[in-house]
Amino acid sequence: VAKKRKMNSDLPLCKYGADCYRKSSDHRKKFHHPRTNKELQTSTSEDTTEKELEKNMKISSKAKKGESNDVLDGKIEAEQALPEVHKSEFKFVETVEEVLNNMPKDFSDFWKFCCTLNKAKPEEAFADLGLHLVGVYDILSRKLPKNKIVLLHCHWRYYYDPPEFQTVLTVDGNDLYHIGYFRDDPKELPSVLASNSAKLGPKLTVMGDNIFAAVNFEITEAIKKSKDKKMAAKFKGMQDKLKKFAAEEKYSLDILSQKIKARNKKIVSKTFHGLGIVVPVVNDIGYRPLPDSDATIKNILRRIASAEDESKRLDEEEKLDELISNVQFANDECDYGMGLELGIDLFCFGDLFFHSLISH
């Protein structure tokens, strides 16, 4: 039987409660912190979790007879589709069917197009460009590892990729350049494609509203940089085929398409990654800007992360606490966008010190 933790009722309760992000011993000595839900979890709930995980790990077999999946020809074994996932993450597990249903039409159409270029290995159809299909495409190319913990919606995720970002293309090189879908709403299909160089920072760059536009851009850049005329001609031939297929399926190859322009009008804040966030605002309720500029917030975070000692860090954290208090006030008045903005900024800053605060 586990020993009960002694509660020090003489200390004032920390305003962040069990989810407090501060790790300093001085802070812990001054304020009382309740036990976390994880600490209170019983063996019974763990057994329930394992059962639910096992249930979620099974691929749905309720598909109607006669229906066929043009993308997945043949069945994928459960262990291939959903490798073992830690029981604490069971609620995030998705079946292959769910993952594919949450991808836009251009995702599967692009796979079909790649099959016309390289039937044996569609994922390597653009290998000459140094471009490879990854992420969710690993389901289609049967590359999901069998004995590795993988959450499909996080598969091939890079360090600075926010939760809204889902990698589907990676490019050879040292800067960890990759392209993925970006969702403004987790319940909706992606609204834009973006690129990021993880080695250089969190910046996200718009790459069109469909994967054909993104790859067309990469081919154009490759042709410009190529010093080999034969290779440039080969790239041009691939691009011509891509343009023809995209035109037949009515996909815009413009990076700044009408859909992107419409989204730009809805952006309430660029955030540190630059792609911006779109949150519902009705009657001026839903978002309010942070009181400090991006430059000021970056300086605050930089000073906290690089503080020489705990005393100096605590002084700087007071400024961050003010921002958090503003977010709490905003939440009370249904302006949830402010908290989203600050959370993304903390994530994009990239320092491990802020991870517990982000989850809070």
Chain segment 208-223, per-residue pLDDT in tens: 999 999 999 999 999 9
User: What pLDDT is stored for residue 79 in this prediction?
Assistant: 31
Q: At what angle do helices 337-349 and 294-305 cross, to 10 degrees?
A: 50
Q: Which pTM does this prediction carry?
A: 0.75
Among residues 186, 347, 184, the alpha carbon closest in space to that of 281 is found at 184
**Encoded tokens for 288:** 């309010």
Helix pair 294-305, 310-332: axis angle to 10 deg: 140
Which pLDDT value is given to residue 10? 56
Mean pLDDT of 6-20: 54
Of 82 and 289, the structure prediction assigns the larger pLDDT to 289
pLDDT digits (tens, 9 = 90+) for 89-104: 555 567 777 788 889 9
| N-terminal to C-terminal alpha carbon distance within the chain | 30
Who has greater pLDDT, 147 or 246? 246
> Which pLDDT band holds residue 254 (cuts at 50, 70, 90)?
very high
State percent of the chain over pLDDT 70.
72
Of 11-15, 32-36, 69-73, 258-262, minimum mean pLDDT range = 69-73
Q: Give the helix, strand, coil percentages of the chain, each rounded to 5.
A: 45, 10, 45
For residues 212-241, average pLDDT = 95
SS3 194: strand
pLDDT digit string, tens, across residues 283-322: 999 999 999 999 999 999 999 998 888 888 888 888 899 9
Alpha carbon 183 to its chain centroid, in Å, reads: 9
User: Among this protein's residues, is 316 annotated catalytic?
Assistant: no
CB 300 within 8 A of CB 319: yes
Could you tell me which of 116, 120, 108, 127 has the C-alpha nearest to residue 240? 116
Which pLDDT band holds residue 50 (cuts at 50, 70, 90)? very low
- Give the pLDDT mean for 261-271: 96
pLDDT averaged over every residue in the chain:
80
Of 46, 54, 188, 333, the catalytic one is: 333
- Residue with the bigger pLDDT between 83 and 169: it is 169
Residue labelled with tokens 């920072």: 201
Quick one: CA dihedral 170, 183, 320, 8, positive or negative? negative
C-alpha 180/C-alpha 161 separation (Å) is: 9
